[in-house]
Amino acid sequence: MVGSIDNRNRNVYLNGTMQNNNGLEEKLDELRTFLGKTNSDPLRIVGVGAGAWGSVFAALLQDSYGQFRDKVQIRIWRRAGRAIDRATAERLFEVINSREDVLRRLIRRCAYLKYVEARLGDRTLYADEILKDGFCLNMIDTPLCPLKVVTNLQEAVWDADIVVNGLPSTETREVFEEISKYWKERITVPIIISLAKGIEAALEPVPHLITPTQMIKRATGTPIENILYLGGPNIASEIYNKEYANARLCGAEKWRKPLAKFLRQPHFIVWDNSDLVTHEVMGGLKNVYAIGAGMVAALTKESATSKSVYFAHCTSEMIFITHLLSEEPERLAGPLLADTYVTLLKGRNAWYGQMIAKGELSRDMGDSISGKGMIQSLMINNINANPWPLSVQGVSAVGAFYELLSQSSLNVLHPEENKPVAPVQLCPILKTLYKILITGEQSPQAILEALRDETLNDPRERIEIAQSHVFYRPSLLGQP
């Protein structure tokens, strides 16, 4: 950590900026006491996974609390061996030289020369290597503070008090099953904060969703009251650049209240909520419709009217789906719309939709995009069959929700035809995205045709249908 502390006014200079530390040590001491830490035992926080959000989260903690080295240890784990291509190295070099504070920091650390060599093609850089200098591979344009990086998973997690899951949902189960091997001799139960938004859909024994917190519980045996979810509305790079942002910490009251206070900063307001699983599902659902928003923006050259019409239809479908998932869906309206709005404005999934519509990406290129990381997806997994291959090929979130909501066991009464239909039949945008992204039956242009279909009902009517009928299916979230 670079910086000097002025004990007279409790200010610290970090990463070229000045932060006021009034109250930080007190908040840290309060959490340490709550966790029963002794004076000689530091609070150990580890991030697992170093994507954009995972890296920013660890860097936020390091920026705020890293100065109290005798009281807290903050580190992040990522797999070793991910090489950076020359084009990325060249871009990284440009970013370094455009930021005097970063340039000076690297020179002081005797680390600048390796970036010169990488720019010339004389050296290969690795993702874990640059992360130690404060550069996230999925967010090259936003330099972070230097981080303590560990590439051995056992070393990273075996004694951690707080583990932050920054993995894609498709990797969460596998990695936490590995972690569980290192926790067999633990006396205390760790706290886990999951940042993952993707989810899995299972069809047996009944159609239901599996969220990352549930995956972690099953993999490690950690009680669900010790597992929390942190979601938006926010954009990772904006948070680290000290732009105003919000987050919502969901889970049991015992931990979410003190952790929300610990995480809260003047520019990063952390709310808390008891509804864990439904907020996780909503975090994945809005990514589905963000892809379509990107398509509409690209196809209409950012037409404000077309984007607003799409927003009306996609939010009405999401509200309809919340009535299937939640007994009290009105409590989700604000968080869902806020998180959806920011994702449509500046999210990776909206970017992906734009690139698909422009023909610059193919739906067969998969979920992992160079420079963007994992486009959050869902995997559909029939317990009696193999995982659906679209978890690897293409963006599978659309496919998973489509398959889940196509099940006849979830039938609802069609308001006009007065007959039972699968819920997906009341979601025309979702159906269109499925035909574009999954089956390839239609081109991206179909999303505009769906919006301009003269038989398409006012989206207000879908909301009224949802509000006037009892659609709630507790089994969808694994409830009895």
pLDDT greater than 60 at residue 2: no
Domain count across the chain: 3
Within this chain, do residues 361 and 299 fall inside the same structural domain, yes or no? Answer: yes
Beta-bridged to residue 68, according to DSSP, are none
413 lies in the same domain as 315: yes
User: Is pLDDT above 50 for 106?
Assistant: yes
**What is the pLDDT averaged over residues 89-109?**
96
48, 165, 197, 212 from 176: Cα distances, Å: 9, 9, 16, 10
Stretch 332-353: mean pLDDT: 79
Q: What burial class does residue 305 get, using C-beta atoms within 10 Å of its C-beta: 0-12 exposed, 13-18 middle, 19+ buried?
A: exposed
* Domain C-terminal end among 276, 302, 321: 276
Of the residues 37, 114, 286, 431, only one is catalytic, namely 286
Domain encompassing residue 418: 279-477
Residue 230 pairs in a beta bridge with 249
Residue 140 inside a domain? The answer is: no
Question: Average pLDDT, stretch 173-180?
Answer: 96
pLDDT more than 90, % of the chain: 52
Give the model's confidence band at 341: pLDDT under 50 very low, under 70 low, under 90 confident, else very high: confident
Residue 374 has pLDDT above 70, yes or no: no
Mean pLDDT of the 115-139 span: 95
Residue where a domain stops, chosen among 249, 276, 303: 276
Q: Which residues contact 151 (CB under 8 A, 6 or more apart)?
A: 77, 78, 79, 80, 128
Question: pLDDT at position 227, please?
Answer: 97
d(CA 131, CA 113): 16
Question: Any catalytic annotation for residue 286?
Answer: yes
Mean pLDDT of 137-149: 94
pLDDT score of 22: 66
455 vs 100, higher pLDDT: 100
Could you give the percent of the chain with pLDDT greater than 70?
88
- Nearest 5 degrees, angle CA 439-CA 441-CA 445? 115
Looking at the structure, do residues 249 and 304 belong to the same domain, yes or no?
no
331 and 442 housed in the same domain: yes
- Same domain for 440 and 332, yes or no, is yes
Q: Tell me how far CA of residue 91 lies from CA of 58, 87, 371, in angstroms.
A: 23, 6, 11
From 276, 309, 341, the end of a domain falls on: 276
Please tell me the predicted confidence (pLDDT) of residue 444.
94
- pLDDT tens per residue across span 43-56: 999 999 999 999 99
Q: What is the pLDDT of residues 22-72, one digit of tens each?
A: 689 999 999 999 999 999 999 999 999 999 999 999 999 999 999 999 999
Chain centroid to CA 337: 16
Q: What is the mean pLDDT of residues 177-185?
A: 95
Q: Does residue 240 sit in the same domain as residue 325?
A: no
Q: pLDDT class for 393, splitting at 50, 70, 90?
A: very low
**Is pLDDT of 14 > 90?**
no
pLDDT at 18: 40
Could you tell me if residue 137 is inside a domain?
no
Phi, psi of 164, rounded to the nearest 5 degrees: -105, 115
The mean pLDDT value for 247-252 works out to 92
Together in a domain, 54 and 171: yes
Q: Higher-confidence residue: 337 or 311?
A: 311
Residue 330 sits in a domain whose CATH number is: 1.10.1040.10
Q: What is the CATH number of the domain that holds 212?
A: 3.40.50.720
Neighbours of 241 (CB within 10 A): 14
Q: How far is CA 383 from CA 95, 143, 208, 325, in A?
A: 47, 43, 11, 21
* CB neighbour list of residue 455: distance below 8 Å, 6 or more residues apart: none
Q: What average pLDDT score do residues 251-276 get? A: 91
Lookup: tokens for 62: 């390091």
Instruction: Give pLDDT, residue 415.
Output: 76
Q: Is the pLDDT of residue 288 over 90?
A: no
